[in-house]
Amino acid sequence: AKDYELRQYETAKWVSTVIRGETQKEAMRQGFWKLFHYIQGKNEKEMKIDMTVPVTCLVKSGCTDFKISFFVPFEHQDCPPQPTDSDVFIEERKAAALFVRSFGGFASPEKYAEEADALARTLRNRGQSFHEDFFYTAGYDSPFKLFNRHNEVWYFKK
């Protein structure tokens, strides 16, 4: 469709942390740094790992817990080094079909929410069945990239 796409993702490992009781913006900041320290060597192998994209944030309606995640690079998918920070963990996300809406610019929590609402409306209007109680934000660019930025919101297909 012109305003969204349906993607099939394979099972994959992500390194994640949950930040509780903060604003989404603050949770993203804190979570990013925890995960960044992990890829900079704060793991059992003291191994530096390449930064990957996207950086995702799980947003649940009516909840102030946010799960921030980095995709584990393909070369570490089989055996990612274990985090040494007790707040950081490796998770395996099962294969899934996702409805994805892309947009540009600098994404704020408000912009992500607006785009998620627009995607949800479109999916409902088209009779698509999806998990409406949560969505993921996905950011693909460094904060230093000023132009042609790429952001997404994801809903899981039922």
Per-residue pLDDT of the chain (158 residues; tens, 9 = 90+): 789 999 999 999 999 999 999 999 999 999 999 999 999 999 999 999 999 999 999 999 999 999 999 999 999 999 999 999 999 999 999 999 999 999 999 999 999 999 999 999 999 999 999 999 999 999 999 888 999 999 999 999 99
Q: Give the list of residues 6+ apart from residue 53 with CB closer than 8 angstroms, or none.
A: 71, 139, 140, 141
Question: 59 Cβ partners below 8 Å, 6+ apart?
Answer: 24, 66, 112, 113, 116, 134, 135, 136, 137
What size, in residues, is the chain?
158
At the fourth CATH level, the homologous superfamily of domain 5-156 is Regulatory factor, effector binding domain (3.20.80.10)
Question: Which tokens hold the place of 68?
Answer: 């921030």
Name, in order, each residue with C-beta under 8 angstroms of 96's C-beta and a sequence gap of 6 or more: 8, 9, 156, 157
Predicted TM-score (pTM) of the model is 0.96
Burial of 122 (0-12, 13-18, 19+ CB in 10 A): middle
User: What is the per-residue pLDDT for 77?
Assistant: 98
Q: Which is it for the CA torsion 31, 32, 37, 43, positive or negative?
A: positive
Q: Where are the domains of the chain?
A: 5-156
Which pLDDT value is given to residue 2? 85
Give the pLDDT confidence score for residue 7 in this predicted structure: 98
